Amino acid sequence: MSLDSTLVGRTFPATPPYRVSHEKVTEFARATGTPYAADGPVPATFPIVLAFAAMNDFLDAVGVDLSRIVHGEQKFAYERPIRTGDVLTTALTVASLRQIGGNDIIGTRSDVTDADGALVCSTSAVLVHRGGTA
């Protein structure tokens, strides 16, 4: 099933608030092999935790099974560093969509905002939705 091109430009509802805790950052750092100390900066790739939640919400909303997705690319652009104690939400927007060889190539942008609504960082991703049967 190909996705409808009218999704381009659509922003999906923000994720529930997520409190960045030392424990969650430590878990992430261990899982990714990223150095992290309690008094140090949050790893630069930590927003993937929030972007992944927003992506899953998007996929559920449009009826796409995660097992049909291949992750093609991920970028982060920061307005300010993430800090433990931050309460963040993420809203995903479909930035582009094209079909190649029966597959959907989906460009997304996820804006991570703090409790005051200020942009903390934006992530962009390219997702390949595999068409046909596996």
pLDDT in tens, 123-134: 999 999 987 654
Q: Is residue 134 part of a domain?
A: no
Could you list the residue range(s) of the whole structural domain that residue 36 is in? 7-129
Q: Is residue 92 part of a domain?
A: yes
Q: Which pLDDT score, from 0 to 100, does residue 131 have?
A: 79
Residue range 69-114, pLDDT digits in tens = 888 889 999 999 999 999 999 999 999 999 998 899 999 999 999 9
Q: Is residue 48 part of a domain?
A: yes
Q: What is the mean pLDDT of the chain?
A: 92
CATH number at residue 15: 3.10.129.10
Residue range 40-70, pLDDT digits in tens = 899 999 999 999 999 999 999 998 888 888 8
Q: Which pLDDT score, from 0 to 100, does residue 72 have?
A: 86
Q: Is residue 1 part of a domain?
A: no
- What is the full DSSP assignment across the chain? -PPPGGGTT-BPPPPPPEE--HHHHHHHHHHHT----TTSPPPTTTTHHHHHHHHHHHHHHHT--GGGEEEEEEEEEESS---TT-EEEEEEEEEEEEEETTEEEEEEEEEEE-TTS-EEEEEEEEEEE--S--
Q: Indicate whether this model's pTM tops 0.85.
A: yes
Q: Is residue 2 part of a domain?
A: no
